[in-house]
Amino acid sequence: MSAAPVLERPAVEPHQDPALAGRDDVRPTGKRLGPGRRRRLAWLLGPSALLLLWTAGSATGLLDPRILSEPWTVVATAGELLADGRLQENLAISAQRALLGLFFGTLVGAVLALLAGLSRVGEALIDGPVQIKRAIPGLALIPLLILWFGIDETMKVLTITLGVFVPVYLQTHAALRGIDLRYVELAQTVGLSRAGFIRRVVLPGALPGFFLGLRFAVTGAWVSLVVVEQINATSGIGYMMELARTYGQTNIIVLGLAVYGILGLLSDGTVRFIERKALLWQRTLAG
Amino acid sequence: MATHVGGLTRTAPPISGSAASADSRAAVSVRGLIRSFGPKGVLNGVDLDIAPGEFVALLGPSGCGKSTLLRALAGLDHDVRGSGVITVPDRVSVVFQDSRLLPWDTVLGNVTLGLREHDAEARSRRALAEVGLAGREKSWPHELSGGEQQRVALARSLVREPQLLLADEPFGALDALTRIRMHGLLQDLVAAHRPAVLLVTHDVDEAIALAHRIVVLDSGRVATVRTVSPDVGSTADAAGHEALRRDLLAALGVVPASGAQPTTPAEPAAVGH
């Protein structure tokens, strides 16, 4: 075989396909500007590193247990609280509040976005008040909500709902308004009905925005939850932590934080998983 | 006179047997069509008839109102001021310059879009097979090449069995080789389905190759109408083809370079100051 002239550029790393093992693979490579292939479970790397730092700090004594409990103490505390049932009980009530608030908030946000996005009257009526609500910090409404609804579950779920619906509305509405007018024309030329237009063009077109809003909403729901549980509650993870503060139990406080963190990560991961399945048609850097 | 333009577009009365008058036999009838954006008139009184099954190409320089006329026939000019009377058949399909496939729907979903018949899916599969895309039903639009996307758009418009096919520079964004293949495909499809066709294009050769009749639009009016005999269209009559080509280019304001001299790039020194 005559030596073919080879471009003087570095070869890429040989690929791992066993069917091609032993064959030459010399190719000129341009600099890759995208982030490359997606790797499974890669998102675990950052959190694991944090956990490792924490363990190392505690083991070497750099972290005073009165400031931040050791990871193994927190694990042991989790075991104890699980054994006497307090953790599950508080977790269940917290999760119920967050999920109810998330459900109602998402529903309200999506419906308002549809109404405002599909009709000029709806936009004129809805968009202004939502923008005003957006300008008021959600937690500033708590005193009024307590006066109106007392301190029972209604007030807690409502506070979360009010925090959740704004990002869902904003992102969904923006995506709706961003649907290319060319597709609206197309829908007209193929004779789609109003319902068909909403189902085949509007909803799928707004879905990426809806998911973005939902991710903000999930995070927001946990934030609101912490506040309502630490201000006035007799149950829930936030109440458990507030009580621990009174007795100086750092380990329970850290356990509460860890639980919130895990819940936040899990819920965000769930939304992203659904998003990837629902938006298969998209080709983006996320991959 | 503040006329609501949308109200001017009405569908043709159903063709009822042999009693159809000469007027209702036309698939498309346009009378005194005026459209303006702001103070500038875009269409200044256009009259046009298209017979059923007739293939009409609409030529004209940029900004002459070609697309405005097509959009008026498609009923897509809700907010444009104007007057005139347009009659179009019940079933009108539009092919745009971009394939305009919904990116979130599969190829098959894009073809069935807006179909209400119970056999919509089977018909859409047949239409996709007809444009040579059998087996690609489950693909996403972004997985297809530009030519394939435009073939899906053709399938989407033909699955509705249109009496009038409106095509707005449908091959303008394709490369030259793909465009020639698409010409052949469009001719086959039109021969099989026999809709009246209005093809908007700026390509004189495309117009001659495809159309029965060529209408040149200039400054919002019909400037020239030429019929194309089959021999001229297929270039069997090479001299006739060349003559028509020159006439049309002249009507479009393009003066062809004199045939005797080979075209050479002008030297800057040769240009007088």
B234 in any annotated domain? yes
How many degrees, rounded to 5, is the angle at CA A73 between CA A69 and CA A74?
75
- How far apart, in whole angstroms, are the C-alpha atoms of residue A196 and residue B201? 32
How many degrees, rounded to 5, is the angle at CA B42 between CA B37 and CA B48?
135
Per-residue model confidence (pLDDT) at position A92: 92
Instruction: Tell me the average pLDDT of chain B.
Output: 83
A35 in any annotated domain? no
* Across A77-90, average pLDDT: 91
Residue B36 in tokens = 């303006």
> Is residue A10 very low, low, confident or very high in pLDDT (cuts 50, 70, 90)?
very low
B245 in any annotated domain? yes
CA distance A278 to chain B (A): 10
Nearest-by-Cβ selection for A188 from B76, B142, B156? B76
* Across A155-184, average pLDDT: 93
* Across A191-218, average pLDDT: 92
Q: What is the CATH number of the domain that holds B231?
A: 3.40.50.300
A55 in any annotated domain? no
State the angle between helix axes of A237-246 and A86-118 in degrees (0 to 180), rounded to the nearest 10. Answer: 130
CB proximity under 8 Å: B 213-242 to A: none
Q: What is the CATH number of the domain that holds A132?
A: 1.10.3720.10
* Across B248-271, average pLDDT: 61
The residue of chain B with its CA nearest to that of A181 is: B100
Q: Does B49 touch chain A (CB under 8 A)?
A: no
* Across A226-249, average pLDDT: 87
B207 in any annotated domain? yes
Give chain A positions within 8 Å (CB) of B76.
Answer: 185, 188-189
Residue ranges making up the domain that contains B72:
25-91+162-175+194-253
Nearest-by-Cβ selection for B102 from A183, A191, A196? A183
Q: Does B113 touch chain A (CB under 8 A)?
A: yes
Give chain B positions within 8 Å (CB) of A191.
Answer: 114
Total domains present in chain B: 1
- How far apart, in whole angstroms, are the C-alpha atoms of residue A88 and residue A91? 5
A220 in any annotated domain? yes
Q: What totals of helices (H) and strands (E) does chain B contain, helices first?
A: 8, 10
Render pLDDT for B64-121 as a digit per residue (tens, 0 to 9).
889 899 999 999 988 888 889 999 999 999 999 999 999 999 999 999 998 988 899 9
- How far apart, in whole angstroms, are the C-alpha atoms of residue A266 and residue A268? 6
Residue A249 in tokens = 């139990």
**B102 to A190: CB separation less than 8 angstroms, yes or no:** no
A124 in any annotated domain? yes
Instruction: Tell me the average pLDDT of chain A.
Output: 86
Q: What DSSP designation does B19 have?
A: G
Contact B144, B178 (CB under 8 A): no
Total domains present in chain A: 1
Range scoring the smallest mean pLDDT among A203-207, B7-11, B21-25: B7-11
B218 in any annotated domain? yes
B270 in any annotated domain? no
- How far apart, in whole angstroms, are the C-alpha atoms of residue B43 and residue B8? 15
Residue ranges making up the domain that contains A86:
70-278
Per-residue model confidence (pLDDT) at position B104: 92
Whether the per-residue pLDDT at B24 is higher than 80: the answer is no
Chain centre distance of CA A198: 26
The residue of chain B with its CA nearest to that of A193 is: B114
Chain A residues within 8 angstroms (CB to CB) of chain B = 182-183, 185-192, 196, 200-201, 204-205, 207, 279-283
**A204 to B94: CB separation less than 8 angstroms, yes or no:** no
**B140 to A280: CB separation less than 8 angstroms, yes or no:** yes
Q: What is the dihedral of CA B55, B60, B65, B70, to 10 degrees?
A: 20
Query: Which bin fits B82, alpha (ψ -120 to 50), beta or left (φ > 0)?
Result: left
Contact A168, A218 (CB under 8 A): no
**A182 to B103: CB separation less than 8 angstroms, yes or no:** no
Whether the per-residue pLDDT at B264 is higher than 50: the answer is no
The residue of chain B with its CA nearest to that of A281 is: B104
A221 in any annotated domain? yes
Strands B213-218 and B55-59: parallel
A53 in any annotated domain? no
How many Cα atoms within 13 Å fall on the side-chain side of residue B21?
4
